[in-house]
Amino acid sequence: MNFFERQTSARRQSRRLLVLFVLAVLAIVLAVDLLILLAIVLVGSEGSIAPADLWLHLSRPPMPSIALMVAVIVIVVIATASLVRLVGLRAGGSAVARSLGATPVPDAGNDPQHRRLRNVVEEIAIASGVPVPDIHILEGESGINAFASGYSPTDAAVAVTRGALDRLNRDELQGVIAHEFSHILNGDMRLNIQLIGLLHGILALSIIGRRMLEHMRHRRSNRDNGAVIGVAIGLVLIGSIGMFFGRLIKSGISRQREFLADASAVQFTRQTQGIAGALKKIAGLDSGSRLTARGGEDVSHMLFGDGFGLSGMFATHPPLIARIQVLEPGFDLGELQRLRQVWRSSPPSGLDEDAAMALTATSGENHPPRPAGSLPAADELIDWQPQAVVERVGDPITPDFHQARRVLEALPEILVEAAHSHEQAPGLILALLWSEDAEVGRRQAELLRGSVPSTWFESADRLRAPCAALHPVQRLPVAEIAFPRLRHRPTADIQRLADRVAAMVHADGRISLSEYALATLLRTQVLDVLDPIDATGGGRSKLHDSRPAVLTLLATVAAHGHADPAVAQRAYTAGLARVFPGLHAPYRPPEDWPTALDAGWTPLNRLNAPSKALLIEALAACVDHDGRISLAEVALLRTVSGVLGCPLPPALVEA
């Protein structure tokens, strides 16, 4: 399956989840109704009713009315509990991580484990075209585990346990993180958060029952206490029904997606040793993948490894041996026993293994980092077919990882530190927009001075020279590395930064594609994520519903990708033929193209997956109608794809 087919599959899973949830709620409603009505009948008859007369008593008025009222109350309780839980997770992926006690990776510091983790996450993000997620660590967890959470790639968070940092070498850590990125790309995260909320509602009655029992301990004994205690015990038992359905739903939805994520991780990293090695260490170490965090079972379906020892039909993950044998068919239990004996006497250390294999915190291969000169030339042309572009969305390959590694290794240290700094990140974004033209730069300085905090201005002034020296393919990645720090600043700061960015790009009376790309990504990956639920599109519209926005986008891309108007018109026609065959729409690139594009992003983001696939193919045909595209056109296409939620890898040939 390609990216768009996986997105469609995730939507089908969401519908399946809703059906299973409704069935579980109906079962709970029937059980509660029966419990309450039986309690009423038994209290009224003082327990002397004959079993044969029970149905007669249950069917007499006002019993049906009471049953209906109880059903409504139960549904309201379940719905309210689910809604409250979802509202608590409204902040997105980081909220899920924090709920388990995870802490963000510190901005500064030279901890080699933190640097290695940051580098692996950022490398995979750049290679896959996914926004750089927030990174968290579960410090108190010695088991090897990880998870990705969020409503969409723009608000995603990746969390790993301390055990994963301590025990996994770089290749293994990369395999685990690649597995979690596959969940981000496959649309699993939103489904997983929905599961947390819905299953909390199912378990709400059990919580109510336990609290009723605690309350009854402090009450004097009276005639009605027995019935109340019976109802409370019944609610706890009915909560067990909820637990049964909840675990069944989680296992039914998540198990096969774990196999898919393992396969995707191998596809991303182009080697099986990493993820297979991580699975072997989980199977061979006493701590395994166990999670001890309070409330951790809420996220059991999101974890890399089974954190709670569930098995059989309740297992959220396939058996470890089965996962390993899919990756390494010749692996057997004897080898696992040998590894266990070795690791019991000498537990593995990931950093020591890195040193033995000559792997550094920033290099994933046992050879020296490639120099900055290996980055592609600015005028390099790339062979690429439009249909292949659709297949590449959400599907990075080896050259993409090599390119991402080169981009990171060639970044000046001063910019890397600024991108990872909560205080300097706003200044870095402003520095990327600071013009090299003296007059324009002077106007931009006047716009900033006094309108932003002094620390922002000082950082921007200090960083503008190294930003000006960046290779074109490094400019957006260094900004995206900084975006996670910006997301956690006060809303007023983010809005002020967006306003100053808009002022800077208009300082010379015009806006370039690179300026528009940075401003747009700042809005879509930082500002819009302030409310992650609202920032995600519905994904149900079809192309004809958004025809004006599609035509505007095609015309704008054609105009900026080709200097010759005649060539641009032919490119527009080539794209139009892919998306609207037979339609004769004149080529009219808008004069105020930034405003026109901004107006079109909302309807375009609401397109369903097949429509987005066709649109990406049309855009690729538009920039690639002559069979070759430039780095500038790749950057343009990647920016558009990123705004549409269709992450496109660098797709560059090996330099």
Q: Write the DSSP string, 75-142.
A: HHHHHHHHHHHHHHTTT-HHHHHHHTT-EEPPSS---HHHHHHHHHHHHHHHHHTPPPPEEEEETT--
Question: Which 8-state DSSP code applies to residue 42?
Answer: H
Neighbour-count burial for 257-267, b at 16+ CB within 10 Å, e otherwise = bbebbbbbbbe
What span, in angstroms and rounded, lies between the C-alpha atoms of 129 and 3? Answer: 12
SS3 363: strand
Tokens for 498? 């967006």
Sign (positive or negative) of CA dihedral 566, 567, 568, 571: positive
Q: Show Cβ contacts of residue 206 under 8 Å, excluding neighbours closer than 6 positions.
A: 235, 236, 238, 239, 240, 242, 243
Contact 340, 296 (CB under 8 A): no
CA 296 to chain CA mean position, Å: 19
Q: Is 146 buried (19+), middle (13-18) or exposed (0-12) by CB count in 10 A?
A: buried
Contact 102, 137 (CB under 8 A): yes
Contact 422, 380 (CB under 8 A): no
How many residues are present in the chain?
Answer: 655
CB neighbours of residue 591 within 10 Å: 7
SS3 645: coil
Q: Write the DSSP string, 237-288.
A: HHHHHHHHHHHHHHHHHHHHHHHHHHHHHHHHHT-SHHHHHHHHHHHHSTTT
What span, in angstroms and rounded, lies between the C-alpha atoms of 298 and 296? Answer: 5
Which residues, listed in sequence order, are joined to residue 134 by a DSSP beta bridge?
A: 157
Residue 591 known to be catalytic: no
C-alpha distances (whole Å) from 64 to each of 33, 54, 56, 420, 627 are: 10, 14, 12, 63, 72
Q: Write the DSSP string, 370-398.
A: PPGGGSPPTT-EEE--HHHHHHHTT---H
Sign (positive or negative) of CA dihedral 40, 43, 45, 49: positive
What span, in angstroms and rounded, lies between the C-alpha atoms of 263 and 552? Answer: 38
- Put residue 129 in one of left, alpha, beta given phi > 0 → left and psi -120 to 50 → alpha: left
Tokens for 603? 């309807």
What span, in angstroms and rounded, lies between the C-alpha atoms of 403 and 412? Answer: 16
Peptide bond into 62 cis (omega under 30): yes
Neighbour-count burial for 281-308, b at 16+ CB within 10 Å, e otherwise = bbbbbebbbbbebeebbbbbbbbbbbbb
Spot the catalytic one: 180, 258, 409, 617: 180
Whose tokens are 């020591």? That residue is 352
Question: Which 8-state DSSP code applies to residue 651?
Answer: -
Integer Rg of the chain from CA: 28
Element containing residue 157 per DSSP (H, E): strand 157-161
What span, in angstroms and rounded, lies between the C-alpha atoms of 301 and 303? Answer: 6
Q: Which residues are catalytic?
A: 180
